[in-house]
Amino acid sequence: MRIAKPLLLVLTPIGVVVGLIEGYRLAGGLVVLMAAMLLIVGIAVSTVVMTVRRERRAAESARREREPEASRDPPAPG
């Protein structure tokens, strides 16, 4: 996984660009539809990622609020 993740992060965008270039070469103006589809899928994925991060943040803050006060405060001297 140490090698696979960086390879995927680098090679996927390169493959998409090469695919768009080949699509332009083969189908001309239809590559605009391909690019629009990629844009819509990218927006959908980013929306899902933002929602998951927002919900995780809300769950963590709710968990912190439920913790007893004694666990957050230092013990009283005495």
Q: Where are the domains of the chain?
A: 4-62
- Read off the pTM: 0.65
CB proximity list for 7: less than 8 A, separation 6 or greater: none
Centre a 10 Å sphere on the Cβ of residue 23 and count the other Cβ atoms it contains: 16
pLDDT the model gives residue 15: 95
Q: State how far the Cα of 48 lies from the Cα of 41, in Å rounded to an integer.
A: 11
> Could you read off the pLDDT of 25-67 as tens digits, one per residue?
998 889 999 999 999 999 999 999 999 999 999 999 989 888 7
